[in-house]
């Protein structure tokens, strides 16, 4: 099994920044794709960004969020700048065997517990 643990969520004012981190352990391999998916209250899960040998972003976060990974530490980060109230959600770290990045949550088999991000106006 693969375990994913997120950290770094919190409360921030609109226009501010937050950095989320996810640490992978267990049977995780550095070749696995890693992603961030968010879910706002009362809404379906929404793809945010993914990274394998390249990066993939949702249109709503392009230019504001940056995903990066450290394969030596088995971690993936999400730097979020220019945050807006509509970015408020629980942010989940996700992963899957192989390096195929996808915007579909069905493409990820492993999930963390999530970390809350709240952006006040």
How far apart, in whole angstroms, are the C-alpha atoms of residue 62 and residue 66?
A: 8
pLDDT tier, 98 (very low <50, low <70, confident <90, very high otherwise): confident
pLDDT average, residue stretch 86-106: 94
Tokens of 54: 């390249």
pLDDT digits (tens, 9 = 90+) for 7-56: 999 999 999 999 999 999 999 999 999 999 999 999 999 999 999 999 99
CA 51 to each of CA 71, 98, 105, 106: distance values in angstroms, whole numbers, following the listed order = 11, 11, 14, 16
Tokens of 40: 């706002």
- Whether 100 has a pLDDT exceeding 90, the answer reads no
How far apart, in whole angstroms, are the C-alpha atoms of residue 94 and residue 11?
A: 22
CA geometry: angle at 51 spanning 33 and 58, to 5°?
Answer: 120
How far apart, in whole angstroms, are the C-alpha atoms of residue 58 and residue 62?
A: 6
């Amino acid at each position: 099994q693969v375990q994913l643990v997120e950290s770094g969520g919190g409360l921030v004012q609109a226009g501010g920044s937050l950095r989320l981190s996810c640490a992978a352990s267990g049977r995780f391999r550095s070749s696995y794709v890693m992603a961030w998916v968010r879910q706002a209250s009362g809404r379906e899960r929404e793809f945010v960004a993914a990274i394998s040998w390249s990066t993939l972003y949702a249109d709503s976060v392009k230019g504001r969020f940056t995903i990066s990974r450290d394969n030596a530490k088995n971690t993936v980060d999400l730097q979020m700048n220019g945050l807006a109230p509509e970015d408020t959600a629980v942010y989940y770290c996700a992963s899957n065997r192989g390096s195929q990045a996808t915007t579909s949550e069905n493409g990820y088999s492993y999930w963390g517990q999530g970390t809350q991000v709240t952006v006040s106006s």
